[in-house]
A and B are shown apart, each in its own frame.
Chain A
C-alpha cells in the first residue's frame, strides 16, 4: 500500500521540473528577443539619423555649388554684357565680344540678344547664337525685359516649345542710362531627364530641381530619377535664391550614404541576437534539466535511505512488545523513541515476560552500533532472553547464558543489558547488570539510583559470572530502567547524566505514563539525538 504513495511525489516532482524548464527557457527567449529588438531599433535609428544628416549636408553643398555656378554665368556674364552695352552706348562689336565665350552650340547659352529699352517698346540691337524660343516682338519677351530693368537682379522664366524646353534670362545694366538689357536662353533637357556624369557629387543621390518654391511637374527643371516624381522615401529639400525667383532641390539617397556596414548593421544585430538567444535558451534548458536531474536523483537517494531505515525500524518495532502484558498489582509503562539524528536506528529494546506465582522478568538492553545489523543482534538476544526467562532462570544466569551467544570480536557488536526478576507481592527485585546504566527508584517524591554492580557487556566476557543484587521496593514505589540515549551527552562524565532522571523524577509524580513522558521531555526535548528505551514499574500497593 505504501509503495504507490511513495512514488507519487516523485512523479509530481518530475512534472514540476519540466514546467520550471519551460518557464526558464521562455524567459531567456523573451529577454533575448527584447534585447535584440531594442539594439536593432537603436542601431537602425542611428543609421537613419546619420543618413539624413549626410543627405542634408550633401544636398546643401550641391545647392551652394549650383548657386555659385549659376550666379557666375548669369549674373556676371549676362549682367556684365548689359553693363558693357550701357557703357559703350550699345556697341554691337563689344556685345558680341562679351558673350562670345558663353553663347555656343554646347551652352551654357544657345541664344543671346541685346535690347535697348528707352523707347515705347524694346528695340533689338544685336542677336547672337541660334533661334530663340521667344521670338523678337513676343509680348512675353518684352515683359521679361522690362521686368529686368525694374529688378535689381536678373529675371528668369521657363519657356517651352514643341521638342524644346529652355530657361529664359533677362539682365539689365545697372547704371545711370539704364537703357540696355541682355536676353539669353539656356537649354534644358526634354522631360527634364539628365544622366549623372561619372564622378559627379550627385552620384549616390537622386535629385530633382525645380524653378520656384513649389514642387510641381510644371516647375521641374531637371532630374536624374527615372521613377515617378516627386521623389519618395527619405528626401531632403533645400534651395537658393536665383535671380528674381528661387531654385528648389530635392534629393533622395540611392543607396546608403554612410556605407554598407552602417546599413547592414541593424540586420546583423537581428541575426546575431536571434542566434545568441537560441544558444542561450539551449544552454539554459540544459542547465535547468541538469539541475532537475540532480534534484530527482537526490530525492531518490533520500527515498531509498528512508526505505532502508524503515526496514530497520519495522524490525525493531516488531521486536518491541506492542502491548505490555498486564501484571496484577502493577502498573507498567514503556516508551521507545527513535533518535532524530544519525544514519540508522539503534539497537535499544525492552521486554517483559510474566512468570507464575506473581512474578515476571523485565529486560532493558542496548546493542552497540546501528542499523539492520544491530537490530538483528537485538532480535537474537531478545528471543534467547525470553526463552531463558521462561525456563525460570534467575537474571544473572540469563545474562551468563546470553553471554555465550555473542562475541564482539566475531559479530562486531556487544550489548549492555539490565535484567530483573520481580516478585510483586514481596516487592523484591533481583537484578543483574551487563554493563548497563543502573535503574532509578522513585518513592513518595524521592528518587535514587539503585546501585547494581555491573559485569561486562554481553559479547565481552571477562571470565567471571554475573552477580546478583537484591532490592526491596517500598509500597507504591516505582522502578525505572532506561538506555543511555536518555542521559548520555558528549563531553560529559556519565555520572552527571545519571543524576538527571533522578532530578526529573523527583516531586509530584502523577501517573506513571506522565512521569516517563516528563522525564523524557525534560532530558531530551522533543527530538532525542540517540534512540531511547525506558520502562517503568509501579507497585499499586
Chain B
C-alpha cells in the first residue's frame, strides 16, 4: 500500500510503502530549509508509530542541507534503527563528512 504524503511542492516528493511491517519512506528532490518542515509533518505519523526500524529510500534525493540532516537525525532519537537506502554520492559524502555514518546507516 503506497501512501502519498506530499507531492511535488517545493521540489520535494515523499511517498511511504510498508515492507514486512517496516515503513519505507521515499524522499525525492531537494531537501532544504524551505521544505524540511513540510517533509517533517509528512513523515511524523509514520515515524511515531514505528520505534524499531524506518527505511528512507533516497536514491532520488539530489541535495540535502543541514535542515535535512537535522530532520533525519531527529528521527534517530525516536527510532532505534534508521537506514538510508541508495544514497547518491553527494548525500553519502555529506553524511560521512558530517560524522553521521554511525547514526544514519547507509545501504548498500
Contacts and interface: CB of A to CB of B under 8 A. Distances in A.
Interface residues of A, number: 32
A414 B69 contact: yes
Interface stretch (A7-15, A37-45, A130-138, A405-413): A405-413
16 contacts: A412-B70, A414-B70, A414-B73, A434-B99, A435-B98, A454-B96, A454-B98, A454-B99, A457-B73, A460-B73, A460-B76, A460-B103, A491-B90, A492-B90, A494-B90, A495-B93
Given A435-B97, A454-B97, A491-B62, A413 B70 contact: yes
| Cβ-closest 4 pairs across A and B | A454-B99, A409-B77, A368-B66, A435-B98
Interface of A: 342, 366, 368-370, 407-409, 412-414, 416, 433-435, 437, 453-457, 459-460, 462, 464, 488, 490-495
Given A368-B66, A414-B70, A491-B62, 14 more contacts: A342-B33, A370-B33, A409-B73, A409-B78, A412-B70, A435-B97, A456-B100, A457-B69, A457-B98, A457-B99, A460-B76, A491-B90, A492-B90, A493-B90
Nearest to A416: B98
B102 A462 contact: yes
Contacts of A459: 73
A409 B76 CA distance: 8
Contact-residue size bin, chain B (C-beta under 8 Å from the other chain): 20 to 34
Nearest to B71: A408
Contacts of A369: 33, 66-67, 70
Interface of chain A, main secondary structure? loop
A443 B26 CA distance: 46
A101 to B, nearest CB: 109
Contact of A409 (B66, B74, B99, B100): B74
B100 A491 contact: no
B73 to A, nearest CB: 4
A460 B70 CA distance: 8
Contact of B93 (A414, A464, A490, A494): A494
A366 B65 CA distance: 12
A455 B77 contact: no
Contacts of A434: 99
Contacts of A433: 99
Nearest to A343: B33
A213 B97 CA distance: 118
